[in-house]
Structures are given as structure tokens and as C-alpha cells.
């Protein structure tokens, strides 16, 4: 009898242990009941190291979230303390691949978040999708992230893509300035071509308004001949789709040849405060004044946000977790805004935090209250009318206009959604 009881007890123990083992194997790497581990690669050294503030801004927000109770009264992301590991890839895909393998295979991260650079992130996209590890909110605006989501279901972009931004300018011009004589100067690569394709799509029936289009190679020493062609064509609306250094050169060259078109549109990547200040220095405030661009986040360098609750939150987090950093650098805010959406998505996934459930949440995002984004900008994905998933999380933007005197960008008008969400 006693022996039998012992046997039964042993069986029960074994069964419970087996169930425990089963429950354990059901949870994905990087998640415990108390923690979730996230990772990312960024250029902390090398030619693109000016982007290094982004992961620090993310770290500051994750620390803040870990110490603060959310709307569910739990600290961290739904009760999971966030462990944030980021490594330097120096913008070299060979390093990105190695460091990403390290994060997945050695650090056992739950997901990769915010990885920076179109090419480095493309280099690990196949691997991460093969391993079924979410590659979330990559820090690049290439159109492929949203466009190829069906092929790479574990990969998600974040910011508005270049084509959408180009389309935005096109629609704005078609509506508000239908008789504009448009000239384009663009960088002759995928990046520049994405913008041009978007512009034509946005102009729609008005695309014949484009009277001249000139391109340059990244390696070209000067844009003088292109500027002279554009000036001679008599256009009044000038589209600049370039990277920062060539944008600055464009303003300086136009000023030198005494050309100031009535309207200038500039793609957002080149429009940060730092670059615009250099353009003002080289070309004069009058040349740069009135330039129109688009953005989706608040600008910490603009004093008009001083009384805004979101900006105050940003400054408080910066003061507490990154006291030696310059809070006016918008890249910290970019990182924080991205971390905010990450925490929301993790929290919304709920108690059963698995990679599959996280991806499901990411496919059905609707975050309306990001305190660091401009009013009206939402992070939204979901099924479209055609049944396909719209995987362009942020698509609303505000048009902004540059004031040469104060060297500030000021938003004007309402939010616009070039993807029509």
C-alpha cells in the first residue's frame, strides 16, 4: 500500500514537472515572468556615429518605464522589466550580422528593436525572419520595410517612408499651388528615386507641372551645373531630395548664382536643425527662409514647445537618465519616441508575451498618445480594405516651414496622412 502511494506520488510529481517543463518551453527566449530582453545594433563609432544618441535615448526611456507604473499599474512593459542591450556595428554589415547573431544566439533577446541603417538592417533581415525573431521599428525610412512586409512578416519599419513623404509634397502642391512650375534636384540612388516616385504619385494629374528634373551622384564634387540648368528653366517651385551635405551645397550654390526660387521643398532627412544652421551660415538666412519640409516628432530645439507636457516629460527623463547629454539634439527624442511605441506594443501584447503574439500586436497597432510625436500623429498598422496588412506604422506628418530669422522649424496646417489612413 505504502509502496503504491509512493508510486502515485512519484507519478504526480513527474507529471507536474513535465507540465512545468512544457510551460517553460512554450515561452520564447528573452522573456521571464519579470523581464524582457531587447537588443539592437547602431553605429556608435565610424562614419555614421552621429546617430549614436538614438539608442541612448531609447535606454533613457526604458529606464524611466522600468521605474514608473504604466496605465496597467505595472512597472516596465506590462510588469516585465526591460533589459536593453545595444552594440556598435560601425554601419558595417559584416559587424551588423555578427552582433545580431550575438544578440539572438548568445544574449537570447526577445526582439531586435530600432536597428539602424537601410543596408545593415537588410543584411540581417533574412536571418531574423528565418529565426522568427521580430525585427521591430528599424531606424530607416526605406520603403521596402512596409512594402515587403508580406515576404518578411517579422520585420517592421517605423517612421514615414521616403515615397510617402514625396507623395505628401506632391499632393500639397497639387491642391494649394496647382500652377506651380516644378523643378527637381535629386540624389541618383534608391533614396533619391524613392522621393521622386512619391512626388509624381502625389501630384497625380498635375505631374506635367514638373518641367525639369536634374540628378547628381553622391560622389559629385559640385551641383553647380544642375543649379544653373534649374535656374535657367524659370521654375518657381524647387524640390530638393538629397542627403545633408549635398543639401547644404545646394543652398550655398543657389545663393552664389543669385537664385532664390519662390518655393523650396526639402526632404525631412536633411532638414534637422544642425544642418539648417550650417546652410544659413553658408547661404544666408534669406536663401533658406521659407523652405517647406515635413516632420512627425516634436523638435526639442524649438522653444515654442516649452510648455508642452510631452516635451516636459522628455526634458525630465533626459535630466534624470542622461544628465550630461544635450537635450536639444532631436535624436534623443527620436529614440525616446521609438522606445515609447515599443513599450506600448509589448504592454498591449498582454500576459502571454511570445514572439508570435508580439508580431500579432505589431500588425494591429493603434497608438495615439505618443507624447513625443506631433499632435495627431498615430502609430498605426492593420488590415486594409484589400485584406493586406498596412505595415507602415507612422505615416502622418506635419508640414513645417523654416524661419530664417529664428532658425526654427514651425509646423503649420493640420496633420496629413499621405497613405490616406
Partner 1 sequence: MTGRAVRGGTLLAALALAAFLPAGISHFHSFQFAFVGIYFIAIVGLNVVTGYSGQISLGHGAFMAIGAYTTAILSHDHGVSVYWTIPIAGIVAGLIGFAFGFPALRLSGVYLALATFGLAIAIVLIAKNYAFTGGGGGKSLTLPSSPISGLSTNVWLYYLVWGTALLMLLLAWLLLRGSLGRSFRMVRDAPIAAVSYGVSLARYKTIAFGIAAAYAGVAGALLAISIAYVNPDTFPISLSILLLTGAVLGGLGSLTGMVFGALFIEFVPLYAEKINNQAPTVIYGFILLAVLFAMPYGAAGLLHQLGGRVRQLRPKATKDPRSE
Tell me how far, at minimum, the Cβ of 91 lies from partner 1, in Å.
Answer: 6
Options 98, 263, 364, 415; binder of partner 1; rule CB under 8 A: 98
Options 41, 122, 268, 329; binder of partner 1; rule CB under 8 A: 122
d(CA 93, CA 80): 31
SS3 73: coil
Q: How many residues bind partner 1 (CB under 8 A)?
A: 30
Tell me how far, at minimum, the Cβ of 251 lies from partner 1, in Å.
Answer: 24
Q: Which of residues 28-57 bind partner 1 (CB under 8 A)?
A: 44-47
| Beta bridge partners of residue 32, listed in sequence order | none
Alpha helices of 257-329 — where are they, by DSSP H? Answer: 273-283, 285-288, 309-321
Options 30, 53, 115, 120; binder of partner 1; rule CB under 8 A: 120
Pull the grid cell for residue 418.
499621405
CB-based contacts of 93-100 (< 8 A; 24+ apart in sequence): 93/119, 93/120, 93/123, 95/41, 96/41, 96/120, 96/121, 96/123, 96/124, 97/123, 97/124, 97/127, 99/41, 100/41, 100/124, 100/127, 100/128
Pull the grid cell for residue 32.
521571464
93: contact with partner 1 by CB under 8 A: yes
Options 69, 101, 320, 383; binder of partner 1; rule CB under 8 A: 101
Pick the closer one to partner 1 by CB: 16 or 94.
94
Tell me how far, at minimum, the Cβ of 329 lies from partner 1, in Å.
Answer: 16
d(CA 252, CA 279): 7
What x-and-dash track marks residues 129-168 binding partner 1 by CB under 8 A? -x--------------------------------------
Tell me how far, at minimum, the Cβ of 239 lies from partner 1, in Å.
Answer: 22
Options 41, 63, 118, 407; binder of partner 1; rule CB under 8 A: 118
Cα distances from 275 to residues 265, 268, 415, in angstroms, run 15, 11, 24
What x-and-dash track marks residues 73-92 binding partner 1 by CB under 8 A? --------------xx-xxx
By the criterion CB under 8 A, which residues form the site for partner 1?
44-47, 87-88, 90-94, 97-98, 101-102, 105-106, 118-120, 122-123, 126-127, 130, 189-190, 217-219
Amino acid at each position: 500500500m505504502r509502496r503504491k502511494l509512493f508510486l502515485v506520488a512519484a507519478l504526480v510529481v513527474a507529471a507536474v514537472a513535465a507540465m512545468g517543463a512544457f510551460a517553460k518551453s512554450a515561452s520564447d527566449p528573452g522573456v521571464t515572468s519579470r523581464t524582457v530582453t531587447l537588443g539592437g545594433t547602431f553605429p556608435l563609432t565610424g562614419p555614421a556615429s552621429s546617430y549614436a544618441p538614438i539608442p541612448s535615448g531609447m535606454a533613457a526611456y526604458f529606464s524611466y518605464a522600468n521605474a514608473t507604473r504604466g496605465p496597467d499599474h505595472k512597472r516596465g512593459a506590462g510588469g516585465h522589466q526591460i533589459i536593453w542591450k545595444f552594440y556598435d556595428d560601425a554601419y558595417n554589415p559584416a559587424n551588423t550580422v555578427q552582433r545580431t547573431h550575438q544578440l539572438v544566439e548568445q544574449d537570447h533577446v526577445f526582439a531586435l528593436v530600432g536597428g539602424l541603417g537601410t543596408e545593415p538592417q537588410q543584411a540581417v533581415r533574412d536571418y531574423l525572419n528565418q529565426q522568427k525573431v521580430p525585427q521591430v521599428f528599424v531606424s530607416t525610412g526605406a520603403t521596402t520595410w512596409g512594402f515587403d512586409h508580406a515576404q518578411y512578416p517579422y520585420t517592421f519599419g517605423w517612421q514615414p517612408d521616403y515615397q510617402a513623404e514625396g507623395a505628401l509634397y506632391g499632393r500639397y502642391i497639387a491642391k494649394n499651388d496647382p500652377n506651380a512650375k516644378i523643378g527637381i534636384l535629386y540624389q541618383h540612388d534608391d533614396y533619391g528615386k524613392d522621393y521622386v516616385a512619391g512626388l509624381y504619385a502625389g501630384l497625380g494629374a498635375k505631374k506635367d507641372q514638373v518641367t525639369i528634373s536634374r540628378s547628381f551622384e553622391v560622389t559629385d564634387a559640385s551641383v553647380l551645373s544642375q543649379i544653373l540648368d534649374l535656374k535657367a528653366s524659370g521654375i518657381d517651385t524647387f524640390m530638393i531630395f538629397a542627403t545633408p551635405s549635398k543639401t547644404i551645397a545646394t543652398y550655398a550654390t543657389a545663393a552664389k548664382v543669385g537664385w532664390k526660387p519662390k518655393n523650396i521643398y526639402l526632404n525631412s532627412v536633411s532638414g534637422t536643425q544642425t544642418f539648417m544652421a550650417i546652410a544659413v551660415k553658408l547661404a544666408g538666412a534669406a536663401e533658406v527662409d521659407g523652405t517647406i519640409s515635413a516632420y512627425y516628432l516634436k523638435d526639442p530645439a524649438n522653444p515654442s514647445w516649452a510648455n508642452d507636457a510631452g516635451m516636459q516629460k522628455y526634458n525630465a527623463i533626459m535630466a534624470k537618465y542622461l544628465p550630461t547629454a544635450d537635450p536639444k539634439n532631436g535624436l534623443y527624442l527620436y529614440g525616446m519616441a521609438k522606445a515609447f511605441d515599443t513599450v506600448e506594443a509589448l504592454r498591449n501584447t498582454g500576459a502571454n508575451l511570445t514572439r508570435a503574439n508580439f508580431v500579432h500586436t505589431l500588425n494591429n497597432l493603434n497608438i495615439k498618445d505618443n507624447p513625443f510625436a506631433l499632435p495627431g500623429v498615430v502609430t498605426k498598422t492593420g488590415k486594409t480594405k484589400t485584406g493586406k496588412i498596412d505595415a507602415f506604422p507612422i505615416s502622418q506628418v506635419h508640414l513645417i516651414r523654416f524661419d530664417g530669422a529664428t532658425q526654427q522649424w514651425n509646423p503649420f496646417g493640420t496633420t496629413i496622412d499621405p497613405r490616406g489612413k
